Structure 1
Amino acid sequence: MSRVSSMAILALLATLGIGLTWLVQHSSAPRIAAEQRLIDSRNLLDLLPPDSYDNQPLEQPLTLESTALANSTLLAGYRATKSGQAYAVLLRSQTLGYASTIDLLIAIDLNGRLIGVKTLKQAETPGLGARIADWPNDWLRMFAGKSRTDPLDQGWALKKDQGQFDQIAGATITSRAVINATHDALRYFDEHRQPLLGNPSHE
Structure 2
Amino acid sequence: MSEEQQNQEISFGGSIGKSMLGIGMFAILAAGIIAVTQVSTKDQIAENIRAAQSRALFEIFPADIDPHLFDHTVELAADELNLEEEAVNGYQVIDGETVKGVILPVRSEEGYSGNIDLMVGINADSSIAGVRIISHKETPGLGDKIDRAKSLWVDSFIGKIRQGSDDSRWAVKKDGGQFDQFTGATITPRAVVGAIGTAITYFENHRIELLQAKEQSQ
TM-score (norm 2): 0.66
Residue 141 of structure 2 corresponds to residue 127 of structure 1: yes
In structure 2, stretches of 5+ residues that fail to align are 1-48
Residue 60 of structure 2 corresponds to residue 47 of structure 1: yes
Instruction: Give secondary structure in 2 for the equivalent of 1:181.
Output: helix
Residue in structure 2 matched with residue 114 of structure 1 by the alignment: 128
Residue in structure 2 matched with residue 166 of structure 1 by the alignment: 180
Q: Work out whether residues 91 and 185 of structure 1, in 8 Å CA contact, stay in contact via their aligned partners in 2.
A: yes
Larger-gyration structure (1/2): 2
Distance 1:160 1:145, change over 3 A: same
1:3-82 to structure 2, matched below 5 A, reads 41-55=54-68, 57-65=69-77, 67-69=79-81, 72-73=82-83, 75-82=88-95
Deviation at 1:51, TM superposition (A): 1.5
In structure 1, stretches of 5+ residues that fail to align are 1-35
Residue 82 of structure 2 corresponds to residue 85 of structure 1: no
Q: Work out whether residues 169 and 178 of structure 2, in 8 Å CA contact, stay in contact via their aligned partners in 1.
A: yes
Distance 1:82 1:169, change over 3 A: same
Partner Cα separation in structure 2 for residue 145 and residue 134 of structure 1: 17
Deviation at 1:138, TM superposition (A): 1.7
Distance 1:58 1:49, change over 3 A: closer
Per-residue CA deviation, residues 3-55 of structure 1 (Å, 9 max, x unaligned), is xxxxxxxxxxxxxxxxxxxxxxxxxxxxxxxxx98875334321112311132
Q: Give the fraction of aligned pairs with identical amino acids, expressed as a percent.
A: 36
What is the Cα-based RMSD across aligned positions, in Å? 2.7
Q: Work out whether residues 100 and 124 of structure 2, in 8 Å CA contact, stay in contact via their aligned partners in 1.
A: yes
TM-score (norm 1): 0.71
Q: Work out whether residues 54 and 82 of structure 1, in 8 Å CA contact, stay in contact via their aligned partners in 2.
A: no
Distance 1:39 1:166, change over 3 A: closer
Partner Cα separation in structure 2 for residue 184 and residue 53 of structure 1: 25
Residue in structure 2 matched with residue 146 of structure 1 by the alignment: 160
Partner Cα separation in structure 1 for residue 163 and residue 212 of structure 2: 22
Instruction: Give secondary structure in 2 for the equivalent of 1:131.
Output: helix
Deviation at 1:152, TM superposition (A): 6.0
Corresponding residue pairs, total: 164
Distance 1:172 1:37, change over 3 A: closer
Distance 1:180 1:118, change over 3 A: same
Distance 1:88 1:135, change over 3 A: farther
Residue in structure 2 matched with residue 198 of structure 1 by the alignment: 212
Distance 1:38 1:177, change over 3 A: closer
Partner Cα separation in structure 2 for residue 101 and residue 77 of structure 1: 19
Deviation at 1:90, TM superposition (A): 0.3
Partner Cα separation in structure 1 for residue 60 and residue 198 of structure 2: 19
Distance 1:79 1:113, change over 3 A: same
Residue in structure 1 matched with residue 4 of structure 2 by the alignment: none
Instruction: Give secondary structure in 1 for the equivalent of 2:133.
Output: strand
**Which one of 101, 113, 119 corresponds to residue 105 of structure 1?**
119
Partner Cα separation in structure 2 for residue 119 and residue 66 of structure 1: 18
Partner Cα separation in structure 1 for residue 50 and residue 186 of structure 2: 35
Distance 1:66 1:131, change over 3 A: closer
Instruction: Give secondary structure in 2 for the equivalent of 1:154.
Output: coil
Instruction: Give secondary structure in 2 for the equivalent of 1:177.
Output: helix
Deviation at 1:65, TM superposition (A): 2.8
